[in-house]
Amino acid sequence: MREINLIVVHCTATPVGRDCSVADIRAWHLARGFSDVGYHYVVRIDGTIETGRPLEKVGAHARGYNANSVGVAYVGGLDAAGKPADTRTPAQRKALKALLAKLRGRFSGARIIGHRDVAAKACPCFDATSEYAAL
């Protein structure tokens, strides 16, 4: 297993209420030239957690930080007008927090951050570093 020191939280940059699966995201990422889906986990609108790229494999989600990180994305991140917004449903909030707690348990030295903390992006459209600081 590779060394993990970051858990990076993302959104899929899809409109509020539009669900998508790992299979959908994999197709988008393959069309962009990726070798597989870039994220290790995706949290769907109903709170279902889907596994994407295997943890043993380097992700493709945060340029310059992929080698030692896990990529976790929630479906959403855009309001109805297409502007960045925290669109997490209550089920997503609960599932995302549980998943991140589990990952912190496995990778105890890893910091949880948002994609926006390492890139000039709004993603994940909320302050993940502060929200999950206590995990």
Residue 25 main-chain phi, psi, to 5 deg: -65, -35
Q: Check 11, 20, 29, 39 and give the catalytic one.
A: 39
Active-site residue 10, yes or no?
A: yes
Q: Check 10, 29, 40, 61 and give the catalytic one.
A: 10
Active-site residue 97, yes or no?
A: no
Active-site residue 115, yes or no?
A: yes
Q: Check 29, 40, 61, 115 and give the catalytic one.
A: 115
Q: Check 11, 40, 65, 123 and give the catalytic one.
A: 123
Q: Which residue has the tokens 């990180």?
A: 69
Active-site residue 41, yes or no?
A: no
Give alpha helix (H) positions in 11-133: 22-31, 90-106, 128-131
Active-site residue 39, yes or no?
A: yes
The sign of the CA dihedral 20, 21, 24, 29 is positive
**Residues annotated catalytic, as ranges:** 10, 39, 115, 121, 123
